[in-house]
A and B are shown apart, each in its own frame.
Chain A
Amino acid sequence: MTTDVLHDCVLGQSHGQSVLFVPKDRYIATLRKLIDDSYTMCVDLTAVDFLTHPGRTLPEAIAPERFEIVVNLLSMRDRTRLRLRTQVSEADASIDSAFDLYPGTEAMEREVFDMFGITFNGHPDLTRILMPEDWDGHPLRKDYSQGRIPVQFKGSAS
């Protein structure tokens, strides 16, 4: 992976798309700088649970953690996209909320909380959004079984 540097963060390329690896403690500060670089729209915020795939390709300076927050920013002025990947550890599955910078991330962060159990500090209303409110567990985690309906075959012995 060829790398570069932007705002003191490692800038990589993935299939021709720019990916910025932001440390968790500089996540909000970097977003703030990127807004000034005309990345005014946050189109998507999601997460990936790398529990069963720890050996993914990362730049050397980045230590892999279990979770990764993936933020897709769009600059309408330059017509470019930038993807942020932030490592979030299992022990401290939380990150600062981007709500104050991009109000549109409100629902997306709730979805990530709902599906991965990653909490967003400073989010105004961190509740489940897709699953029932009293649900147990976070479905998109890799240690959450997909679930299946047992099939009963007619005439089988058991």
Chain B
Amino acid sequence: MSDLLNTVVSAGTFEGNQELRSRSELTAKEVMREVGAVLRMSEADVALLAEVEADPGEDQTMIINMGPQHPSTHGVLRLMLELKGETVLRCKPIIGYLHTGMEKTGESLTFMQGGTNVTRMDYASPLNNELVFSMATEKLLGIDGDIPERAVWMRMLLSEMNRMSSHLLFMASNGMDIGAVSMMLYGWREREEVLRFFQKVTGLRMNHNFIRPGGVAADLPAGWRDDVLEILEMLGPRLDEYDTLMTGQPIWRERLQGVGVITRDEAIALGATGPILRSTGLAWDLRRDMPYLNYKDVDFDVIVGSYGDAFDRYAIRLAEIRESMRIVRQILGKMPGGDFRIQNKKVTPPPRARIDESMEALIHHFKIFTEGFKVPEGEVYVAIESPRGEIGCYIASDGSATPYRMHVRAPSFVNVQALPHMMRGGLVADAVAVISSVDPVLGEVDR
């Protein structure tokens, strides 16, 4: 094994390889890809398009870098834009600046520890990441049907609260990008209230590692119901304020309407999910269409747009906060009592009180946290609806206590690839609005 570890496969790649190249260096197909024109068109269509898009000549165009340190790129997204005057002709997102090899790290962490890893991918909705990882692990273990009802409802509660906090963060960053700075402060302020609730429940504002294979880490604290109600009561009027501040406001509409348009077929071809897909008018929400947890038992609407532009994506997220509040209200009425984690000695550590009186419980506790539990050989893909779209977890297990391969299908990673298409023909100033409307979380893009 040791000599295997020293083998380095030469890659044959070179510096500057990923960057946007000038037209003269590209084949026609590569140009078509970078203007985003190769979207399930017949070859005849593509040929037609090639005639329309006359080569603007390199003396008239300019390639500029936007990012990786541009404030509106939400982290370290770098875009290379080919401009003709103020118009974006081509765009190429260059990612990887935040790559920390989390999928590789995941291969050496046990299924018990894996949650701490995946929760750091999409740091704006950590609980959804933990949820999808836990659900994949449970499916491999074959205990996905035995999770206690209270744990399932708690997971739904946390997932929906997380959707609210994530969309509130979008409101803040979207406002900031477009110049509505007061919105930024309001968005952060409301999100903080939700995070305070998370802190009370899980102990941490972010990166909770609270949803674990087998259930959740702890029961809800005393008074949680009042905290949730307080947030719901606070949030309703605040969302109406957002409406007053932004939705009906002419400047806001001018900035967003008709910007970054994508059609339904294009979104499907590019694999875009979440608010981007729904903004094109396709009502596709995994919570409703392929229900997991207990989403079939609650009432909510799937919000769709009609133009596929940045304004639709803004409006969808605003309305989705309201839908999440509606779901949370129903969860409050339905939360059952009982266990918050499965009583399966294989995956659940013994309760704290047992450790004091039983040697076996102590050993069991020690072993489960150091060695983890063995997961049967197999492979499984589980997907749920995160605030950004479909987040999926593919785990291949070889029967040991660590995943043989753990892959997370990150919605932002795929959605970012729709940027060149949405930006084509738009203005540089609108590029900021388009990035913002995709709402990428770079931790998840790069993993």
Residues of A that sit less than 8 Å from B by CB: 14-15, 17, 19, 40-44, 46, 48-49, 51-53, 56-57, 70, 72, 76, 79, 81, 83, 99-108, 111, 115, 117, 124-125, 127-146
Contact = CB atoms under 8 A, between A and B. Distances in A.
A141 B380 contact: no
A143 B7 contact: yes
A145 B11 CA distance: 16
B16 A133 contact: yes
A127 to B, nearest CB: 5
Interface stretch (B69-77, B250-258, B269-277, B358-366): B269-277
Contacts of A132: 15, 96
B271 A41 contact: yes
Given A46-B407, A130-B96, A14 B380 contact: yes
Given A57-B377, A137-B11, A146 B417 contact: no
Contact of B271 (A43, A117, A141): A43
- Chain A contact residues, majority secondary structure: loop
Contacts of A137: 8-11
B13 A15 contact: no
B6 A124 contact: no
Nearest to A35: B40
A138 B413 contact: no
A84 to B, nearest CB: 11
Nearest to A133: B17
A65 B140 CA distance: 23
Given A42-B271, A138-B9, A129 B15 contact: no
A125 B95 contact: no
B9 A127 contact: no
A105 B268 CA distance: 11
Given A83-B381, A105-B271, A140-B104, A48 B414 contact: no
Given A128-B13, A143-B9, 13 more contacts: A42-B271, A48-B405, A56-B398, A72-B381, A76-B284, A81-B383, A104-B417, A127-B13, A133-B18, A137-B9, A137-B10, A139-B101, A145-B5
Interface stretch (B214-222, B344-352, B388-396): B388-396
The 7 A-B residue pairs with the shortest CB-CB distance, nearest first, are A104-B271, A145-B5, A130-B96, A44-B409, A53-B398, A133-B17, A130-B99
Contacts of B9: 117, 136-138, 141, 143-144
Contacts of A144: 5, 7-9
Interface of B: 1, 4-11, 13-18, 27, 29-30, 33, 38-40, 95-96, 99, 101, 103-105, 107-108, 139-140, 142, 268-273, 282, 284, 289-290, 377-381, 383, 390, 392, 394, 396, 398, 404-405, 407, 409, 413-414, 416-417, 446-447
Contacts of B404: 48, 53
A83 B379 CA distance: 11
A99 B16 CA distance: 23
Contact of A133 (B14, B33, B268): B14
B417 A14 contact: no
B80 to A, nearest CB: 13
Contact of A139 (B15, B104, B381, B394): B104
Nearest to A80: B290
B379 A14 contact: yes
10 contacts: A19-B379, A43-B271, A48-B404, A70-B379, A103-B270, A107-B416, A107-B417, A133-B17, A134-B17, A144-B7
A102 B269 contact: yes
B21 to A, nearest CB: 9
Contacts of A103: 33, 38-40, 269-270
A107 B417 CA distance: 7
Contacts of A76: 268, 282, 284, 289
A128 B18 contact: yes
Contacts of B273: 43
A140 B404 CA distance: 11
A46 B255 CA distance: 38
A71 B189 CA distance: 41
Contacts of B103: 115, 140
Given A49-B405, A53-B398, A104-B414, A131 B381 contact: no
Nearest to A48: B405
A154 B366 CA distance: 28
A143 B446 contact: no
Contacts of A138: 9, 11
A22 to B, nearest CB: 15
A43 B8 contact: no
Contacts of A131: 96, 99
